[in-house]
């Protein structure tokens, strides 16, 4: 296949900081950020951001440096990351919900010049952190030198550093320059045109590069950013209410969240207030597209692209076709080159599968402190004009005359769960550090929203399986984000091998279906007589999880629960109890004991009203 290339229109604004400043100066009275009851105008946001940038420069931050931001999703988070960019440094935003040990490892890896946080969040880290800390309050109190002058020559300097899972057990960080971010935002604006009358919801975790769409795209186009409350991004009821009450017109969510959102709200509910909806991060099923079109007049855009090519590199808008049988990832966006190559690095014929190589202005500079990995994944362009590298994506695709490209799967061990890119090797490396574990393997079972991780362990001869499995689960929860912790574990006498002696992952994937709890009811939930709320909750959870029994302190998510099962459990409880059950109770209190107490309190408060 010959490459597919789209052209970039003449525009020399390849710096994120100057795009932000020019937009804020153009309409300083316009609401830029809404965070609950707090509203920041563009002028106020500019002033607060310049204060952050001035403080950072005063502490020695220069272009090429990295500054870590460790804040809850909030207006202060937006001020923090944009302040770093204005200072000329690269923002490294860390999710405060990740295990502290993992965050410390990434801090040590990226060696930031400073860390922006709050005293409360700073207290999570050891006293000898080795990084100078500045607080949000210090930044707000800084008196900037006037006038503020942007740094020089930032086009090719990093603006953003994004960590993703690493196959060696060590997360890797993509260095994304200003020109890559601005290229992608211009492409989005030209195809999806935001304006001052739009409002976009920011709910995506900062560890996922799509959060750049929710923060920077609206900020450079005069659109208002509405910030979802921390911890509520998985709550479909909260999101639906926020979309309506805050008059959200543009919404991005990963495919699994879109499915959860529609499932939780029911097929009769409509979302015609949305003007545009974007999704991606996982394969998009035709049935989900049809369900979305049945509930909204908004067009749905399917975005594809690894973080190494900055947010996305292809896009496709599925037609409103009741007979739609395939959802494509689309053609190249502007200033992007795509090649589909065989194992020998030669272009494949049209319609034949091959590995996708990505080039163009959206490419990252490589990986931080990983020259060998950078050389392996960012390879010379031996087919085009040779002016820049190509990113070897590891994704299998083929061309299609209607939809541009069709995504077929992976060529390596990388999987996606709820839109997050996961290297199975990182899970396996963490499990192998637990005493008693001799071998470890992880696989993904299921597709789309049903995809779940399963861990397999071979133990030392004297190990106690139940104790070691529990220790592995605890270790992974302490070391990895929740989306990387397998839903179930199984112990084996030996790992299955292929004929050539390699781990037989295909066989493990088949066996994973037997390890996971059934997704349908294994027992019938019969609410007992009287008002034994704990028994009702236990019965419903057993039904939804497909298990015969649940202890009062067992964690819903540790025994196979996920966001979709929360929806089923909540709807079942509402039908049995005749009251509204807030969905976030299950996330806040995932044990029968805690959930029952919270639900009882909610019922009392409801009756008092």
Please tell me the CATH superfamily of domain 4-25+32-162+169-394, with its number: ANL, N-terminal domain (3.40.50.12780)
| pLDDT tens digits, 575-606 | 888 888 888 888 888 888 889 988 888 776 65
Q: Is 443 exposed, middle or buried (0-12, 13-18, 19+ CB in 10 A)?
A: buried
Q: What is the pLDDT of residue 443?
A: 93
Give the DSSP H/E element, type plus range, for residue 93: strand 90-93
Q: Does the CA dihedral 98-102-104-105 come out positive or negative?
A: negative
Question: Cβ of 119: how many Cβ atoms within 10 Å?
Answer: 10
| pLDDT tens digits, 60-83 | 999 999 999 999 999 999 999 999
Among 140-144, 388-392, 451-455, 577-581, name the most confident range. Answer: 388-392
Q: Which of helix, strand or coil describes residue 415?
A: strand
- Pairing verdict, β 224-227 and 199-202: parallel
How confident is the model over 220-226, as a mean pLDDT? 97
CB 587 within 8 A of CB 231: yes
Q: Which of helix, strand or coil describes residue 203?
A: coil
How confident is the model over 152-174, as a mean pLDDT? 89
Phi, psi of 355 (to 5 degrees): -85, 140
CB 77 within 8 A of CB 35: no
Q: What is the pLDDT of residue 347?
A: 94
Confidence tier at 167 by pLDDT (50, 70, 90): low
Q: What is the pLDDT of residue 471?
A: 92
Q: What's the gap between Cα 438 and its chain centre?
A: 32
CB 206 within 8 A of CB 537: no
| pLDDT tens digits, 93-120 | 999 999 999 999 999 999 999 999 999 9
Q: What is the CATH number of domain 533-608?
A: 1.10.1200.10
Percentage of residues in the chain having pLDDT higher than 70:
93
Closest listed residue to residue 192, CA positions, set 277, 312, 79, 92: 277
Confidence tier at 121 by pLDDT (50, 70, 90): very high
Of 249 and 166, more confident: 249
> What b/e sequence results for 230-250 when a residue is b if at least 16 CB atoms lie within 10 Å of its CB, and e otherwise?
eebbbbbbbbbebbeebebbb
How confident is the model over 536-544, as a mean pLDDT? 90
Please report, for the chain, the start and end positions of each structural domain, with discontinuous segments joined by +: 4-25+32-162+169-394, 420-515, 533-608
* Alpha helices per DSSP H over 149-306: 178-192, 211-221, 236-245, 255-265, 286-295
| pLDDT tens digits, 472-483 | 998 998 888 888
Confidence tier at 488 by pLDDT (50, 70, 90): confident
Q: What is the pLDDT of residue 524?
A: 38
Residues forming a β-bridge with 92: 68
Please calculate the CA angle 267-303-33 and round it to the nearest 5 degrees.
Answer: 80
Average pLDDT of the chain to the nearest whole number: 88
Distance CA 358, CA 371 (A): 19
* Alpha helices per DSSP H over 124-230: 136-141, 178-192, 211-221
Distance CA 368, CA 230 (A): 29
Which CATH number does the domain 420-515 belong to among 3.30.300.130, 3.30.300.30, 3.90.1150.10, 3.30.230.10? 3.30.300.30
CB 563 within 8 A of CB 259: no
How confident is the model over 486-506, as a mean pLDDT? 82
CB 192 within 8 A of CB 312: no
Among 10-14, 272-276, 506-510, name the most confident range. Answer: 272-276
């Amino acid at each position: 296949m010959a490459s597919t290339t789209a052209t970039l229109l003449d525009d020399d604004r390849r710096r994120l900081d100057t795009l932000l400043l020019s937009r804020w100066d153009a309409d300083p009275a316009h609401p830029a950020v809404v965070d609950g009851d707090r509203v920041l105008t563009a002028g106020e946001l500019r002033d607060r951001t310049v204060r952050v940038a001035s403080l950072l420069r005063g502490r020695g931050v220069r272009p090429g440096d990295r500054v870590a931001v460790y804040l809850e999703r909030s207006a202060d988070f937006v001020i923090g990351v944009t302040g770093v960019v204005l200072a000329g440094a690269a923002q490294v935003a860390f999710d405060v919900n990740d295990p502290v040990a993992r965050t410390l490892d990434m801090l040590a890896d990226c060696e930031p010049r400073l860390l922006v946080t709050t005293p409360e969040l700073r207290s999570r880290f050891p006293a000898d952190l080795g990084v100078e800390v500045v607080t949000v309050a210090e930044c707000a109190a800084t008196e900037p030198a006037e006038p503020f002058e942007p740094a020089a020559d930032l086009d090719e300097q990093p603006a953003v550093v994004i960590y993703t899972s690493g196959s060696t057990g060590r997360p890797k960080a993509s260095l994304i320059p200003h020109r890559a971010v601005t290229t992608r935002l211009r492409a989005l604006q030209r195809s999806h045109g935001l304006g001052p009358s739009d409002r976009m919801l920011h709910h995506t975790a900062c560890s996922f590069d799509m959060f750049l769409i929710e923060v920077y795209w609206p900020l450079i186009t005069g659109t208002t950013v509405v910030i979802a409350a921390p911890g509520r991004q998985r709550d479909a009821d909260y999101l639906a209410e926020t979309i309506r009450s805050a008059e959200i017109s543009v919404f991005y969510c990963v495919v699994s969240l879109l499915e959860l959102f529609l499932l939780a709200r029911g097929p009769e509910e409509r979302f015609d207030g949305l003007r545009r909806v974007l999704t991606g991060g996982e394969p998009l099923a035709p049935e989900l597209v049809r369900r979305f079109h049945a509930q909204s007049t908004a067009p749905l855009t399917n975005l594809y692209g690894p973080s190494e090519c900055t947010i996305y590199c292809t896009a496709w808008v599925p037609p409103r076709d009741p007979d739609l049988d395939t959802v494509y990832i689309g053609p190249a966006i502007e200033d992007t080159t795509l090649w589909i190559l065989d194992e020998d690095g030669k272009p494949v014929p049209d319609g034949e599968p091959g590995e996708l190589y990505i080039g163009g202005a959206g490419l990252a500079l490589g990986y931080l402190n990983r020259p060998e990995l950078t050389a392996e994944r960012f390879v010379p362009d031996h087919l085009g004009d040779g002016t820049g590298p190509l990113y070897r994506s590891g994704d299998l695709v083929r061309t299609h005359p209607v939809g541009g490209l069709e995504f077929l799967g992976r060529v390596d061990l990388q999987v996606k769960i709820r839109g997050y890119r996961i290297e199975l090797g990182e899970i396996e490396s963490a499990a192998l550090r637990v005493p008693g574990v001799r071998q470890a393997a992880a696989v993904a079972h299921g597709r789309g929203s049903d995809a779940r991780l399963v861990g397999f362990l071979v133990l030392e001869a004297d190990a106690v399986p139940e104790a070691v499995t529990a220790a592995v689960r605890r270790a992974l929860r302490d070391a990895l984000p929740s989306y990387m912790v397998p839903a179930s574990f199984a112990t084996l006498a030996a790992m299955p091998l292929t004929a050539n002696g390699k781990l037989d992952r295909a066989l493990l994937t088949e066996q994973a279906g037997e390890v996971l709890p059934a997704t349908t009811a294994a027992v019938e939930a019969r609410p007992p007589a009287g008002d034994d709320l704990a028994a009702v909750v236990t019965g419903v959870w057993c039904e939804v999880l497909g298990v015969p029994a649940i202890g009062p302190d067992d964690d819903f998510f540790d025994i196979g629960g996920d966001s979709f099962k929360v929806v089923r459990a909540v709807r079942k409880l509402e039908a049995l109890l005749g009251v509204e059950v807030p969905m976030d109770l299950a996330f806040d209190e995932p044990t029968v004991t805690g959930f029952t107490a919270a639900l009882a309190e909610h019922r009392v408060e409801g009756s008092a009203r």
